[in-house]
Structure 1
Amino acid sequence: MDKREALGSWISGPRAAAEQMGADFGYRGERLGLPKEGPGSVAPVGRRVAALFIDWALCLLIAYGLLSHGSTTAANNWTFAIFGVVSVLTLATVACTPGKRIMRLRLVRVDGQRLGPLAVVVRTVLLLLVVPAAVWDRDTRGLHDKAVGAVQVRM
């Protein structure tokens, strides 16, 4: 292996380097028994991030328009609380937030059933802490999803 190959494997990340050495990780969701593509497959990271931004923007609009009386500082504070409430209410009732619905995603337990209200509350609190959502496994499930046995899938 020359220097360029070593640098390429380092930049590509540990998964790419392991795959070059012959490791087979399979596709995202295979260990969970989910299909490789189509409905029910693990949601792509880009769609999940887009859904999060849509939800945050909607909550910011609600906070600014209804609760902050024109103060951007107050709107930012209210957005956090509104985001938590919207997440809990929509995930517990219809298994997707407005942003997830727009991006055609839903949140389910690994066995495909809807999450219970307590699991939704625990997941939302962990999501609001940010750190658990930033740590993923090889199926790209955040710790907030793993803690409650959930996975975000395509509709």
Structure 2
Amino acid sequence: MPDGGAHVANAPLGRRLVALGIDWGIASVISYAFLDYHPLASLGVFALMTYLLVATLGCTIGHRILGIGVRGLEGGLPGPVRAAVRTVALCLAFPPVITGPDGRGLHDMWAKTRIVRR
């Protein structure tokens, strides 16, 4: 498959939420250890970590642990532009909770991505 073996099925919401929690937890630990646990520092670490990992590998640490990943609608890795759009929208907080009929959040719709099972 052109997407590195990802299945076509969207990842279940539960896995996506647990992955988000894992990623936020990692960002919080880094913020606590090095940045005085400032809320904006935690968000910045989360955003940087999410952007870099999604743009280069197609998944965050939480995604990898839960067996899911981010793909473009055509099946390939999202790349830097889609990863940037998705990360900025994700950090706005409200786009991920507003979903379309296919279960994708606004952040994924805007970035033309989806979270799939790997």
Q: TM-score, normalised by structure 2?
A: 0.91
Answering whether residue 99 of structure 2 is matched by residue 136 of structure 1, we say: yes
Deviation (angstroms), 1:116: 2.1
User: Which of 47, 50, 62 is 1:87 aligned to?
Assistant: 50
CA-atom RMSD in angstroms: 1.3
Answering whether residue 90 of structure 2 is matched by residue 121 of structure 1, we say: no
Identify the structure with bigger relative contact order (alpha carbons < 8 Å, sequence gap 6+). 2
Task: Name segments (4+ residues, structure 1) moved above 6 Å.
Answer: none
Answering whether residue 101 of structure 2 is matched by residue 151 of structure 1, we say: no
* 5+ long unaligned stretches in structure 2: 1-5
Partner of 1:44: 12
Contact 2:85 2:111 in 1 (8 A): yes
Provide the C-alpha distance between the structure 1 equivalents of 2:101 and 2:13, rounded to a whole number of angstroms.
12
Deviation (angstroms), 1:41: 1.0
SS at 1:153's partner residue? strand
User: Aligned letter for 2:101?
Assistant: R
State the number of aligned residues: 113
Partner of 1:109: 72
* 5+ long unaligned stretches in structure 1: 1-37
Q: TM-score, normalised by structure 1?
A: 0.70
Contact 2:51 2:84 in 1 (8 A): yes
User: Aligned letter for 1:100?
Assistant: H
Partner of 1:27: none
Identical-residue share of aligned pairs (%): 35
Contact 2:54 2:79 in 1 (8 A): no
Deviation (angstroms), 1:77: 2.6
User: Aligned letter for 2:91?
Assistant: L
SS at 1:39's partner residue? coil
